[in-house]
Amino acid sequence: MAAQVQFHQVQFHNVTLGYDRHPAVHHLEGEVPCGALVAVIGPNGAGKSTLLRGIVGILKPLAGSIDLGGLDARDIAYLPQTADIDRSFPISVFDFVGTGLWRSTGLFGGIGKPARDKILDAIAAVGLSGFENRPIGTLSGGQMQRVLFARVLLQDTRLIVLDEPFNAIDAKTTADLLALVKRWHGEGRTVLAALHDMEMVRNHFSETLLLARGPVAWGPTAEVLTAENLLVAMRMCEAFDDGAAACAVDDGRSQAA
């Protein structure tokens, strides 16, 4: 069983994440091995975004903990579902993508010739060569998504977290960006992506976490995406219950302890 000694990039220890004490993800246990390409799927409100927000440290767990395998939360490249980006701000594609170098430049670090080349390469890698000087406000939705991928590329992190990166993106752009995701996978980076497109998950992602407030199934994609599991996920109750009592699972645990 030598395979079990592999390193874990992310480990969930009985993690509960939520808002205002109401959990959105309940008692998640498990681990993401280094270099894994994991799809996180589930119906709307299943807690996919919440889980990813927890991983990158924007949301503190209500209970349990998330172990990042020694990685600082700031060393994760995170692409949120609805990026809160002020598109009217006068900043060029080049400068915007360049912010991905923050880890190496910080507050004052200069951006020399090597860094400039890196930025240009990243812009070229997402197929936006020639757009360097365009203000971000003039880009289309798909182009903006390419820009965000270029920034993730430039962040050059071991763990990449993508929250529904292909929403409202056309087939061509999706294919290009998916190729980039596979390239990251090939480079040994760990990639977690919240997705909706089952076909894409089946064809491109080796591992899947099916989420419905709690983990329904987690493992090799073919074993997770069974009709039975999906039905269980679909039945998930979405609404918060204002009158909900404190979680019984926790009670059981604390009494046992």
Partner 1 sequence: MLYDALIGPFTEFEFMRRALAAVIALALAGAPIGVFLMLRRMSLVGDAMAHAILPGAAIGFLLSGLNLFAMTAGGLIAGFVVAILAGVVARSTGLKEDASLATFYLVSLALGVTIVSIKGTNIDLLHVLFGNILAMDDQTLLVVAFNATITLVVLAVIYRPLVIESVDPLFLRTVSRAGGPAHLAFLALVVVNLVNGFQALGTLLAVGLMILPAGIARFWSRDLTVMISIAVAAAAVSGYAGLVLSFQTRVPSGPAIILVASVLYVVSVLFGSVGGLIRQMFPGRHLEA
State the residues that interact with partner 1 by CB under 8 A.
Answer: 56-58, 73-74, 76, 78, 80, 83-86, 89-92, 96, 99, 102-103, 106-108, 135-136, 151, 155
- What are the structure tokens assigned to 109, written together? 């670090």
Q: Closer CB to partner 1, residue 136 or residue 212?
A: 136
Q: Closer CB to partner 1, residue 96 or residue 166?
A: 96
Minimum CB separation of residue 212 from partner 1 in Å reads: 26
Q: Closer CB to partner 1, residue 6 or residue 140?
A: 140
Minimum CB separation of residue 73 from partner 1 in Å reads: 7
Q: Closer CB to partner 1, residue 43 or residue 80?
A: 80
Q: Closer CB to partner 1, residue 73 or residue 198?
A: 73
Burial class of residue 81 (count of CB atoms within 10 Å of its CB; 0-12, 13-18, 19+): middle
Minimum CB separation of residue 89 from partner 1 in Å reads: 5
Q: How far apart (Å, rounded) are the C-alpha atoms in residues 257 and 255?
A: 5
Tell me the H-state helices in the chain: 48-55, 93-98, 102-105, 113-125, 141-155, 171-186, 198-204, 221-224, 227-234, 248-256
Minimum CB separation of residue 95 from partner 1 in Å reads: 8
What does the buried/exposed string (b/e) look like for 145-158 if buried means 16 or more CB atoms within 10 Å of the residue's CB? bbbbbbbbbbbbbb
Minimum CB separation of residue 151 from partner 1 in Å reads: 8
Q: How far apart (Å, rounded) are the C-alpha atoms in residues 191 and 9?
A: 10
